[in-house]
Chains A and B, each alone.
Chain A
Amino acid sequence: MLNVVIASATLDFLSVNVWHILMAVGNLLILVLILKKFLFKPVQNILRQREEEINKTYSDADKALSDAENEKAEYQKKLSAAKSEADSLISSASERAKAESAEIIQNARAEAERRRKNADEDIELARRKAVEEMRDELGEMVIDLATKVVGKEIDPKTHEELINEAIESLGE
């Protein structure tokens, strides 16, 4: 004979006990609170924090990008402004240089003209001087020649006058 007895003081296999039903419900509700406090709340908090961090990262990146775009546009504006300024500087400088060079050329021309005039005057002067000298020398030569030819001293003063008259009448 085999006798399987599980325990001496037990409930019936099918028993209904209001306290036990209430305890089962209470246990379930307590476990709900336990899971809420120790599993769901901490994990959901972490998940929310992670979402916030990701959103912040994205918005930061967007902001940095728009800042960079703005700065780029500003630099381009500045660059083009500098370029146009440089262009205007160069063109004004070249205009001034042109004007200056024209002035210099004009001055040089005037100077050259003036010098040519002076030179012409000098040449004229020299020519006259030379003519004068030649006249003098010619006179002396003629007197010398005449003295030698006549062999006799003629009064130089009288003769000179005579000769000058002769030369003058010969013309310039």
Chain B
Amino acid sequence: MKLEIEVTGAKILLTLPLGITVTETQVNMWLVMLGIAVFCIWLTHGLKVRPTSKRQIVAEYIVKTAENFVTSNMGQKWKWFVPYVAALFSLAMFSSLISLLGMYPPTSDLNTTAGWAIMTFILITFYKIKTNGAFGYAKSLTEPIFIMTPMNILGEFATPLSMAFRMFGNVASGTVVSALLYAALASLNNAVFGWLPGILGEAAEKLPILQLGLPAVLSLYFDVFSGVLQAFIFCMLTMLYIKSAAEVED
């Protein structure tokens, strides 16, 4: 018996001129964004100075938690950065959690995580140049000795690259492992129940008896735990890199 598993990326749903394609990644991300937008509008409608609804308490709690998350890592003057981190965290987290609904998680597409990592890279470089000046930034690449310059430039690009692949790898590998496990359990199912004679055997082969249970536990790790954790790590790294980029080195 031979197991053949094809692991692919997102389905292409629409092809526009100029070679622009719209895939499951984009559509699912839009659905996530729509869900977040609707949730926010529902949370914040009819806010009162003296809160009377649980909705408002939840909305205020979310805002304060996000503000606290950012300001405790970056300081009070980075309060304006809160919406970006909140958007990054919520989009990354729900894009991973969407796989619980059997949908394609946008974070298992390298383009998604690469885009977010490039944003972080742009912000890091912007703040390095803003803090040290263009010359100071260029000079910092030649330190401690001139020979190190190629290494330093590589190091600059390593940051977004590692961030993009960390998240992509965690989410995509979960999908791959899940697919492998399903295939393995299906063949095991065949092997265990396939020997039953006649119509009984055929029915047992089609019933996914062994596929129950174990994939759910695995999905709890790959989808829920890993998805939330990777979103958290991505936000943490973004904040810490940008903060250290904006700090004046003495």
**CA gap between A102 and B19 in the complex, in Å:** 128
Among listed B115-123, B132-140, B150-158, B214-222, interface-contacting one: B115-123
Interface of A, secondary structure class, is helix
Counting contact residues on chain A (CB < 8 A from B), the size range is 35 or more
| Interface pair A22/B115, CB less than 8 Å apart | yes
**CA gap between A68 and B34 in the complex, in Å:** 56
Decide yes or no whether A156 CB sits under 8 A from chain B.
no
Smallest Cβ-Cβ distance to A52: which chain B residue:
B49
Smallest Cβ-Cβ distance to A3: which chain B residue:
B4
Among listed A24-32, A89-97, A129-137, interface-contacting one: A24-32
Knowing A20-B25, A42-B44 are in contact, say whether A1-B4 is a contact too (CB < 8 A): yes
Decide yes or no whether B48 CB sits under 8 A from chain A.
yes
A22 proximity list for chain B (CB < 8 A): 115
Which listed residue, A12, A34, A46, touches B9 by the CB 8 Å rule?
A: A12
Knowing A1-B1, A20-B112, A35-B40 are in contact, say whether A6-B29 is a contact too (CB < 8 A): no
Decide yes or no whether A47 CB sits under 8 A from chain B.
yes
The total of interchain contacts (Cβ-Cβ below 8 angstroms) comes to 159
**CA gap between A44 and B50 in the complex, in Å:** 14
**CA gap between A45 and B112 in the complex, in Å:** 33
| Interface pair B44/A43, CB less than 8 Å apart | yes
Counting contact residues on chain B (CB < 8 A from A), the size range is 35 or more
Smallest Cβ-Cβ distance to A32: which chain B residue:
B87
A38 proximity list for chain B (CB < 8 A): 37, 40-41, 44
| Interface pair A20/B111, CB less than 8 Å apart | yes
20 more CB-based (< 8 A) A-B contacts, given A24-B113, A34-B36: A5-B6, A6-B11, A9-B12, A10-B12, A11-B8, A12-B9, A13-B9, A16-B110, A17-B111, A21-B115, A23-B111, A25-B119, A27-B30, A28-B87, A28-B88, A31-B36, A32-B83, A36-B83, A40-B63, A40-B82
11 example contacts (A-B, Cβ-Cβ < 8 A) are as follows: A1-B2, A6-B6, A13-B7, A13-B9, A21-B115, A25-B116, A25-B119, A27-B33, A32-B87, A38-B40, A47-B60
Binding site for A on B (CB under 8 A): 1-12, 19-21, 23, 25-26, 29-30, 33, 36-37, 40-41, 43-44, 47-50, 56, 59-60, 62-63, 66, 82-84, 86-88, 90-91, 106, 109-116, 118-119, 172, 179, 182-183, 186-187
Binding site for B on A (CB under 8 A): 1-7, 9-17, 19-25, 27-28, 30-32, 34-36, 38-40, 42-47, 49-50, 53
